[in-house]
């Protein structure tokens, strides 16, 4: 019975079509999962709890003028400097205005201290977010409100 069914031309075309449709559906699903893991990765699990060696320390004025350049120094971490060894270091430090990345600095183990200064300007009050990616855990995040005033 089954062999007779498989021999029918229309059945084979139908089965082949279903197979192609299944593959076409699976490709974007798998590609999306790969993108999530490779590009977004640990951002799904950003750490916000305080840790003296991992929480970014943000140093900048509380209040700035509209469009005025100011420095934002980010040190990892907030209570003690994070190690910078080949097996344990900070890959990069980034600064965000709310959820928009403004800049990112990549660091090398041994030769760079996990501390960077970005010079930025804001047009409106915002939440500045500092993000750091160690080579051994999910990223760590800290934030600070900046008030932008007309001077
Ligand atoms: Fe660490």
Q: Exposed/middle/buried for 37, CB within 10 Å: 0-12, 13-18, 19+?
A: exposed
Q: What is the rounded distance in angstroms from the CA atom of residue 66 to the CA atom of residue 147?
A: 9
Centroid of ligand 1 to alpha carbon of 13 (angstroms): 57
Looking at the fold, whether 75 and 30 belong to one and the same domain comes out as no
Q: What is the rounded distance in angstroms from the CA atom of residue 76 to the CA atom of residue 47?
A: 14
* pLDDT reported for residue 151: 81
Could you give the angle at the alpha carbon of 59 between the alpha carbons of 72 and 138, nearest 5°? 85
Looking at the fold, whether 52 and 40 belong to one and the same domain comes out as no
Count each helix (H run) and each strand (E run) in the chain, helices first. Answer: 2, 8
* pLDDT reported for residue 33: 63
Predicted structure pTM score: 0.73
Centroid of ligand 1 to alpha carbon of 115 (angstroms): 14
**Residues that place a CB less than 5 A from ion ligand 1:** 134
Centroid of ligand 1 to alpha carbon of 134 (angstroms): 6
* pLDDT reported for residue 26: 72
Number of domains in the chain: 2
* pLDDT reported for residue 20: 75
Centroid of ligand 1 to alpha carbon of 50 (angstroms): 13
Looking at the fold, whether 65 and 99 belong to one and the same domain comes out as yes
* pLDDT reported for residue 16: 66
Centroid of ligand 1 to alpha carbon of 89 (angstroms): 6
Looking at the fold, whether 51 and 40 belong to one and the same domain comes out as no
* pLDDT reported for residue 102: 97
**Boundaries of domain holding 102:** 46-149
85: domain CATH number? 2.60.40.730
Per-residue model confidence as pLDDT tens for the chain (151 residues): 666 766 677 766 776 677 777 767 776 666 656 555 555 555 668 999 999 999 999 999 999 999 999 999 999 999 999 999 999 999 999 999 998 999 999 999 999 999 999 999 999 999 999 999 999 999 999 999 999 999 8
């Amino acid at each position: 019975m089954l062999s007779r069914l498989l021999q029918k031309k229309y059945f084979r075309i139908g089965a082949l079509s279903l197979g192609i449709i299944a593959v076409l559906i699976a490709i974007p699903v798998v590609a999306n999962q790969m993108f999530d893991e490779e590009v977004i990765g640990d951002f799904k699990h950003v750490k916000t709890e305080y840790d003296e060696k991992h929480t970014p320390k943000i140093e900048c004025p509380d209040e700035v003028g509209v469009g005025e350049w100011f420095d934002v120094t980010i040190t990892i971490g907030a209570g003690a400097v994070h190690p910078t060894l080949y097996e344990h270091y900070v890959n990069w430090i980034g600064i965000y205005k709310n959820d928009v990345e403004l800049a990112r600095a990549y660091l090398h183990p041994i030769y760079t201290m996990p501390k960077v200064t970005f010079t930025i300007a804001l047009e409106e009050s915002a939440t500045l977010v500092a993000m750091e990616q160690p080579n051994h855990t999910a990223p760590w995040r800290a934030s600070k409100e900046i008030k932008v005033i007309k001077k």
